[in-house]
Structure 1
Amino acid sequence: MTKDSNVARPLRQKVIGILGGMSNQATGEYYRMLNERLNSRLGGWDNGEIIIVSVNFGNIEYFVRQNLWAEAHSYLLEKVERLERAGADVIACVSNTMHRVVEPIMATRQTPFFHIADPTADAIRKAGLRKVGLLGTMSVMQSDALRQRYSQRYGIELVAPSDADKQIVDRVIFDELVRGDLRDTSKREYLRIVAGLRADGAEGVILGCTEIFLLIGQSDLPNFPVFDTTELHVDALVDFACSTSVP
């Protein structure tokens, strides 16, 4: 794809499928960021061709809090099938937490799936880091599968907050961030928790929930590398859309 004003119309491009609604805050940011980056690449009035299947977050919150992962699998399987029927050339889940369900669903399908941990781990490795802190929902911070993915595939050790601080991080995500409720008190708590991870030997921190970047970011931690899974995931999707030819 180029910025050539003489390109044949309609411009043929890869269709990005977004499994969204987890939460609507993150989904809106994905749509905005994808189109901004694609327009920057393509120029003019061009942006992305994007299909969004947005789920009811109330269902997701219930499944996660009750550990009903089989029910979540059945619920999201039908949504993935909708994306495929609609013509998605690649599928991305906008929730770190729900990768626990979506990854095994996509493992049996032919449509490419971009796991959110992979571009994040690539960025950490490029930065030369081996031990990083992890913020996310309770499920993400306690995930042995995620810890093994980072360790076995990329040689990266994850450091999680204390149990008490995990509760704070999780509560802020579910009770505030998914509602777009950004509080200075919560920001201070998150920055305190990151300082604790740094004291425990972390060389950087992963914002392992797609809403956390709304609260804290690299500008709040100028001397400590921050790896925003949302931004890195979006960048990987844009690279795919722009570098892969359409048959």
Structure 2
Amino acid sequence: MQTIGLVGGMSWESSAVYYRDLNVGVQRRLGGLSSPRLVLSTVDFAELTDLEDAERWDQVGVLLADAARGVERAGADFLLLCTTTFHKVADQVEAAVDIPLLHLADVVADACLADGVTEVGLIGTTVAMSDGFFTDRMAARGLTTITPDPRHHTMLNEAIYDELVHGHVLDRTRRRVVEVIDELWDAGAKGVLLGCTELEMLISQADVELPVFPCTTLHVEAALDRALS
């Protein structure tokens, strides 16, 4: 079994989901008392979000690259960033280490294409929805990504940063997000990406008719495939 390296803390709720699901996944696949080999380094989310707000992305990259090097030194065979938004600096992180980075957009693109879906909606943070770092990488794999009307961006961002990262899952927020997903369906999306780990706490396939692609779950399964191959 290979050792999975995790750079987390973005938020700690996200890291907890990755840690839990990796352990549950190994136990499901191998049975008994089996658990994954993991190395986890977490960063100060407040520091990163301050840098994000100031658009100091180079410094964000420095901090995450340093965490990734620590994970590598601790024996990880490959690396995951436990975040969607901060994949904006994934290239900078990947260049800082000698182990492979399992890029979330590549994993998600593969899952969509395997299901025959080439037009997908994306909900997430404002940065993830409005910056091209994620959608461009999806486009390079042949997928068209539809993002919500900008008038919804603040609501989605606040749902993530003001509620979900603190573990607050509210029905009224779920209803509003489902309405946004329905708009993406009307705009031509054949599936929807839950482009933030915390959104998987709020939205499941039972909530919407459009096929749901839970990015974190897909990332975890791809990591398990790699670690156990």
What TM-score results when the alignment is normalised by the length of structure 1? 0.90
What is the correspondence of 1:3-152 to structure 2 with a 5 Å cutoff? 13-152=1-140
Query: In structure 1, how many angstroms separate the alpha carbons of the residues matched to 2:75 and 2:100?
Result: 12
Distance 2:91 2:14 in 1: 19
Q: 1:145 and 1:72 mapped to 2: Cα distance?
A: 15
Residue from 211, 220, 229 that aligns with 1:234: 220
Give runs of aligned pairs for residues 197-236 of structure 1, distance below 5 A. 197-221=184-208, 223-236=209-222
Residue identity opposite 1:228 in structure 2? P
Query: Residues 108 and 76 (structure 1 numbering): CA distance in 2 closer, same or farther, change over 3 Å?
Result: closer
Identity rate of aligned residues, in percent? 35
Match of 1:179 among 163, 166, 180: 166
Moved more, 159-168 or 107-116: 107-116
The structure carrying a bigger helix percent of its residues is: 2
1:129 is displaced (CA, Å) by: 1.3
TM-score normalised by length of structure 2 = 0.97
Alpha-carbon RMSD across the aligned residues, in angstroms, is 1.1
Q: One-letter code of the match for 1:99?
A: H
Match of 1:61, SS state, is helix
- Total equivalences in the alignment: 229
Q: Report the secondary structure of 1:206's partner residue.
A: strand
CA contact (8 A) 2:85 2:125 kept: yes
Residue type of the alignment partner of 1:163 = P
Q: Which amino acid aligns with 2:220?
A: V
What do residues 88-125 of structure 1 show as CA deviations (whole Å, max 9, x unaligned)? 11110011011111332213532011001112111111
Q: State the structure with more CA Rg.
A: 1
1:132/1:158 contact within 8 Å kept: yes
Structure 2's unaligned 5+ residue stretches are none
Unaligned stretches of 5+ in structure 1? 1-12
